[in-house]
Structure 1
Amino acid sequence: MEQLCDCDYEYDSEDQYTMPEFHQKYKDKLPLLVVVSGGFNGKTVYDEVSTNQVIWFHRVCQQSRVLGRLSNQAVRQYEEFVSIPVHSGHMFNVITSSRNESDPETLEDILTKHKLPVLVRLASEAYDYTLRTVKRYTILLLKTYTETFLQGNCLQDDILLPPPLLLAVSPDISVAIATGYVNKSKDTFHRKLRQISEFVKRNVELKEKEGCKEITLFDKQDSTTGTGNSIPPDLLPSYDEDFMYQDIEPDINWIPPIPPNPGFRPSLPARPPDGLLCQNDTPVDSEMESEKLSHKQSSDVSAGTFNSLTVYDDDESGYNSSAGSVKSYISDMSVEDIQSLLGALNLTKYKKDFRKHLIDGAMLEGLEETILREDFKFKHVEVIRLMKYIREGHMPKQ
């Protein structure tokens, strides 16, 4: 029996397994004492373990998590996905419209009340890099899935260490089952295993639903979910089989309505004949009274009123001579409205990409010209055509 690692335990070098292989073969035969024959310096505490480390694996833990997509990513090559534990203290706001969000709720409550996919925003405090990154965006929750971990305790100098160990089923870690001591009898080894088992039953708390408690970003380079586990097959959405987007059949006869008339002001009263000023239809005869009335009317105009008619200030009236009123109109448009708008603007070839990314009016307002050109491959004149409608409500005359 050849030993590849220098430790106090014997194991068969031909019976080494990667963590996925070990889990597949021995998940129903735990607890077991193993030696790490191939350690790995991973990016998380769940896939970082030293070679020669001796571990007493208690059991397999299954954790429910949710796949989420940072929803402002314009094209797939730049998309980022997140993995969120269902049972955690993180709080989220459900986004019900462009202007409305729910009160903060746990992910478990959200899944009880809503059917996926659902759009949320992280409401919890962002205390690390990942949370600060996630908090900048809205998250489209796509589906639930399960990740597997192995729960155990490490041994040092043949003594079980109190801190619990949670190890991801990482293909970069390999283990072998300990079969005995190097210089001691089999009876001594089996007696030690019984002692460890009894100690664990009395002193180690085995928690249900144990797993990674953090929100993690998928690591596409290492093909992990950010927890140390490999990305499960078929977990990420395939755009050839878009399960999360419903096809929208736009009305080919739909014409976008004209946006509200910006900057409307009531007309001023007609000037009376002979240059005379009137107040409440009463002629002003004297020059002095004319000066008084003129001064009063100037005051009225500066105050925003004239002859019982109000002259509205742009900002206070709700009307704006700039594009503000048009934009507020755009923000209320649905995904279906945007699909029809693209058809009316002769931009039909971009419908599929806009539909995949759930571009509604509020999101359309946030798309800068560089995003349209670089990510959606708009031509320069097409960008101008779309922006003229967004900013001014302009429809090309045919």
Structure 2
Amino acid sequence: MERALVVQGGIPLRGELRVNPAKNSALKIMVASLLTPEPVTLTEVPRLRDVDVMLELLSHLGSRYAWEGHTLHLHTPEIKNTEAPRELVDKMRASFIVMGALLGRVGEAIVPMPGGCQFGPRPVDQHLKALTRLGAEIKEENGFFHAQQTRKPSGRVVFDMPTLGGTEQALLAAALGGEATLVNVAQEPEIEDLCRFLQMLGVEIQGIGSSILRVQGKERLGGGSYSIIPDRIEAGTFLLMTAATRGRITLTHVNPQHMDALLDKLAQSGHHIETGEDWVRLEATPNPLPFSVEAREYPGFATDLQPLIAAYLATVPGTSTVADRVYPDRFGYVGELARMGADASRKEGVLLINGKTLMGASVKAADIRAGGALILAALAAEGESKIEGMQYVERGYEKLPARLQALGARVSFEQPALALAAD
């Protein structure tokens, strides 16, 4: 039985915290390890439910793995299965990119439509377009995509819009012996991290960090040790929680340049921000100002932080607006925020927020970032809140209650009722 999180609100967060490695980067690099028969060591990997699901999928495909703390050892001497089980891919959208890795390594793949968080349609047409341009023949049967590599994985892919998953698929498909030019690619830090990992394996990639990537694959890739970048979404979560509770925090093991859009908005709201090479410090103002924000492709404001910044703005007096160009329907959490007294309504695709004091309530998370937003609102609210759906939160945040406790928050899991003994 999943436990609910109980939050006593109204306590400012204060302290110092080391940011965990990036989940969204670790998952894709784990998939990329399928491309080489040599051992790979990842020295910074978060211990999360999504990581466990990915390891289960990789094991099914032929990988062996071992943990040493947050260090993960991976080895795939051969691919044993080319079909990804529906029950695993249904749990996590990120697993869909095994198609590109399997095509690259063995030339065939059977992968179902991806699942994961349900906050609006997320089509895979750009994934399929990229793989087809690189020589794959793909057919759909009964909800499964059957892909066969018909020639050397080479060609020119022009994406209709920057797409994280589509870019990753193309990189993986071309890494072994391919020669590809990828145009209008996603430029997120996680893409750069994947490119650096592939370079370590031996792939030649030009244009890293730009909108055009040129990939020169190798016939055989090596192994090695690699460290995952810090999690900019986790860092942003703690900054917004601190701003919402009017506290102060220092985050270490973080890249401030990955969070320019968020830090700019927090400064615009009146909070005092300081940054160093690998740290960020926020001291909240007691009287923050409202603002408007639109989530968009990197280096714009991150869509994964959109629910959290909306919850923060619900605590800021005045009128704010929130829009999302990446996932325009990612507003399913608004009804739960309303249970806490948030004044927020959608009009023509834009969320209008009139900030006010929130009150504790019982709410339920439906996805990872919605859960983070509800916890943020509960931390800032007056009184006690209960958040259900923590199984989603634990997919993306490692030991979040304990980390919040270290910052002074009063949070704990609800104790299950004791069953009455039979007479």
Which TM-score band applies after superposition, normalised by the shorter structure? under 0.3
Give the TM-score normalised by structure 1.
0.24
Which protein has the larger Cα radius of gyration, Structure 1 or Structure 2?
1
Higher relative contact order (CA 8 A, sep 6+): 2
Tell me which protein shows more helix as a share of its residues. 2
**TM-score with structure 2 length normalisation?**
0.23
